[in-house]
Chain A
Amino acid sequence: MRRVLLPIVALAALVALWQVAASSGLLAEAFNVESFLVPSPAEIASALWENRALIAENAWVTLQEILLGFLCGLAVGLAFGFLLRPFETLRLSFHPLIVGSQAIPIIVFAPILVVWFGYGIGPKLAVVALVCFFPIAVATADGLRSVDPEAAKMMRSLDASRSQLLWRLEAPSALPFTFSGAKIGVTFAPIAAVFGEWVGADSGLGHLILQDNAQLETARVFAAAFVLSAMAIALYGLLALAERRVVTWR
């Protein structure tokens, strides 16, 4: 109970503090800007309510980008994880490259992806998939390698073929690892989708944020950001729930 209550109390306290600081004009004074540029939580909430149709419409676009991009990243991540496991040469060759691929700032890559894939959903999927695949691939490969060598001997002695070893021992052992990687990936997915939209899009929460920022609609920027965070938390929660249903032995 304390684990649920304490964060809620802490959050409520922060929001209350923000409300007081913003509505009294303290924040605007501190930033040295006009007070309408520093919305209070109440103003953000009313912006969220008044623009619910607009925000929902754009959120749906972004959610599609996140979900499809995540699925692509999951597929590629699993493929890499499983391919790198049995082939030591492949693993030694590609593992550093995969890690290196994460050092490339995605924001640099995004414009090129737009040039290649156009202004549709393509480049957004690519950016989201690129961000998601890495933790999934690395976690899956590590999970497959984490199997106790004694257990592998036991399986061999019980007449397991190479593929039975993989599917009956290694893959289930790797499952909790894959879930951890997926949970990390999915929390980054909304940021990646926004990056993809910033480079070129005519809808989506990222697009809306960029537009509202230019028009000094700060309350709506915060409202959109709030919805983005809520989506990230919800997706994480869904995966955690799925993990508890699937990985019943932990």
Chain B
Amino acid sequence: MSAEFGQFAAEAASPATGATVSVHGLAHRYGELTAIERLDLEVPPGRVLGLVGPSGCGKSTLLELIAGLREPSGGAIEVAGGGSAAERLAQCAFMPQRDLLLPWLSAIDNAALALRNRGVRRGAAREEAGRLFERFGLAGFERARPAELSGGMRQRVAFLRTLVAGKPVLALDEPFAALDAITRAEMQGWLAAALRADPRTVVLVSHDVEEALYLADRVAVLSARPGRVVEQLDTPAPRAPDRDAAVTAPEFVAARERAMAALHRGSR
């Protein structure tokens, strides 16, 4: 384990804050097409792993495999020691690329979906989700319909919906891809703060190297199809409170160049 992980050692020690995700010799095929081949990854509890790679390298497939939404063609994935898709599904909360908030529900009812699905009564579910609205700067927007919210706000609600599920592992599929550059930078700072306050094990897919390097403790660069890990690098200032300063620091720029070089190697 690298020294950079040390900053979050205290939180990582608590079992409530995450579970280990491990991927060994993973392979996945769609018919004739090999999407993923001989892939190994390990995410310790409470850590954030960023996955970057060229389009079509199978990053989203990998995320769905980890989250228990698919069974792999070969190899093993374990989340908190559970290997079957159902066991992984029980441990992971998946956040898709688009917010996909249900337009007929208010923001708070969207956020409380997982609780409602588990049979929690509406009032209690709203109360629990409402506490997170207070904590994460969404107070006052509880009763707004998704159509009344800005893109960034919708993405916040979608993230809270994932968080409220109360699972140790979050699987985030390019959560900010649909946002404009300024909102995206804002949301990265917001997500970093949220994860500092409520640490989980996170697997974050991104097409934005800078985003992955800022939010993750470690970034795995995947190759073009069939997806394999080209390089893993530890990040210099994961989720640092001052995002703008962090991403312009010399170590960060160096890390980005290394990641870009790995991306180019893997794209060939």
Residues of chain A whose beta carbon lies under 8 Å from any beta carbon of chain B? 148, 150-151, 153-161, 164, 168-169, 172, 247-250
Q: Which residues of chain B are near A248, meaning CB under 8 Å?
A: 104, 145
> A168: which of B90, B96, B98, B117 is its contact (CB, 8 Å)?
B117
B113 — nearest CB in chain A belongs to which residue? A158
Which B142-166 residues have a C-beta within 8 angstroms of A?
Answer: 145-147, 161, 165
B252 CB within 8 Å of chain A: no
Q: Which residues of chain B are near A172, meaning CB under 8 Å?
A: 102, 104
> A153: which of B94, B113, B146 is its contact (CB, 8 Å)?
B94
Give the shortest distance, in Å, between A173 (CB) and chain B (any CB): 9
Q: Which residues of chain A are near B96, meaning CB under 8 Å?
A: 150-151, 153-154
Give the shortest distance, in Å, between B250 (CB) and chain A (any CB): 39
Q: Complex formed: what's the CA distance from A54 to B77 in Å?
A: 77
B217 CB within 8 Å of chain A: no
Which B120-159 residues have a C-beta within 8 angstroms of A?
Answer: 145-147
Q: List 17 A-B contacts (CB under 8 A).
A: A150-B100, A151-B102, A153-B94, A154-B100, A155-B117, A156-B89, A157-B68, A157-B69, A159-B90, A159-B114, A160-B117, A161-B117, A168-B116, A169-B102, A172-B102, A249-B104, A249-B146
Q: Complex formed: what's the CA distance from A155 to B68 in Å?
A: 13
Q: Complex formed: what's the CA distance from A154 to B159 in Å?
A: 12
Q: Which residues of chain B are near A148, meaning CB under 8 Å?
A: 100
Give the shortest distance, in Å, between A203 (CB) and chain B (any CB): 43
Q: Which residues of chain A are near B102, meaning CB under 8 Å?
A: 151, 168-169, 172
- Given A153-B69, A168-B113, A159-B95 contact (CB < 8 Å): no
Quick check: B64 and A153 within 8 Å, CB to CB? yes
> B118: which of A159, A247, A249, A250 is its contact (CB, 8 Å)?
A159
Q: Which residues of chain B are near A250, meaning CB under 8 Å?
A: 103
Q: Complex formed: what's the CA distance from A169 to B110 in Å?
A: 11
Summed over the interface, the residue pairs from A and B with CB atoms below 8 Å come to a total of 60
Which of A155, A157, A160, A161 has its CB near the most chain B CB atoms (within 10 A)?
A157
Quick check: A158 and B93 within 8 Å, CB to CB? yes
Q: Which residues of chain A are near B114, meaning CB under 8 Å?
A: 158-159
Q: Complex formed: what's the CA distance from A164 to B116 in Å?
A: 9
Q: Complex formed: what's the CA distance from A155 to B104 in Å?
A: 15
Q: Complex formed: what's the CA distance from A250 to B104 in Å?
A: 9
Give the shortest distance, in Å, between A164 (CB) and chain B (any CB): 5
- Given A150-B100, A169-B102, A157-B147 contact (CB < 8 Å): no
Which of A148, A153, A159, A250 has its CB near the most chain B CB atoms (within 10 A)?
A159
Q: Which residues of chain B are near A159, meaning CB under 8 Å?
A: 90, 114, 117-118, 165
Quick check: B94 and A154 within 8 Å, CB to CB? yes
User: What are the interface flags for B53-76 relative to A under an 8 Å C-beta threshold, 1 for contact and 0 otherwise?
Assistant: 000000000001001110000000
Give the shortest distance, in Å, between A59 (CB) and chain B (any CB): 37
Interface contacts beyond A157-B93, A249-B146: sample of 6 additional A-B pairs, CB < 8 Å, sorted by A: A150-B96, A151-B96, A155-B117, A158-B113, A158-B114, A248-B145
B97 CB within 8 Å of chain A: yes
Q: Complex formed: what's the CA distance from A169 to B104 in Å?
A: 10
Q: Which residues of chain B are near A158, meaning CB under 8 Å?
A: 93, 113-114, 117, 161, 165
Q: Which residues of chain A are near B68, meaning CB under 8 Å?
A: 157
B215 CB within 8 Å of chain A: no
Q: Which residues of chain A are near B90, meaning CB under 8 Å?
A: 159
B100 — nearest CB in chain A belongs to which residue? A151
> B95: which of A154, A160, A168, A169 is its contact (CB, 8 Å)?
A154
Q: Complex formed: what's the CA distance from A156 to B146 in Å?
A: 21
Q: Complex formed: what's the CA distance from A248 to B104 in Å?
A: 7
Q: Complex formed: what's the CA distance from A168 to B101 in Å?
A: 12
Q: Which residues of chain A are near B146, meaning CB under 8 Å?
A: 249
Q: Which residues of chain A are near B100, meaning CB under 8 Å?
A: 148, 150-151, 154
- Given A153-B94, A158-B113, A249-B165 contact (CB < 8 Å): no
Q: Which residues of chain A are near B147, meaning CB under 8 Å?
A: 249
Q: Complex formed: what's the CA distance from A158 to B68 in Å?
A: 12
Q: Complex formed: what's the CA distance from A161 to B116 in Å?
A: 11
Q: Complex formed: what's the CA distance from A249 to B109 in Å?
A: 14
Which of B68, B98, B102 has its CB near the most chain A CB atoms (within 10 A)?
B102
Give the shortest distance, in Å, between A194 (CB) and chain B (any CB): 38
The 6 closest A-B pairs by CB, nearest first: A157-B94, A249-B103, A158-B114, A150-B96, A160-B117, A151-B100
Q: Which residues of chain A are near B67, meaning CB under 8 Å?
A: 157
B92 CB within 8 Å of chain A: yes
B118 — nearest CB in chain A belongs to which residue? A159
> B145: which of A150, A153, A157, A249 is its contact (CB, 8 Å)?
A249
Q: Which residues of chain B are near A155, meaning CB under 8 Å?
A: 113, 117
Quick check: B117 and A164 within 8 Å, CB to CB? yes
Give the shortest distance, in Å, between A26 (CB) and chain B (any CB): 55
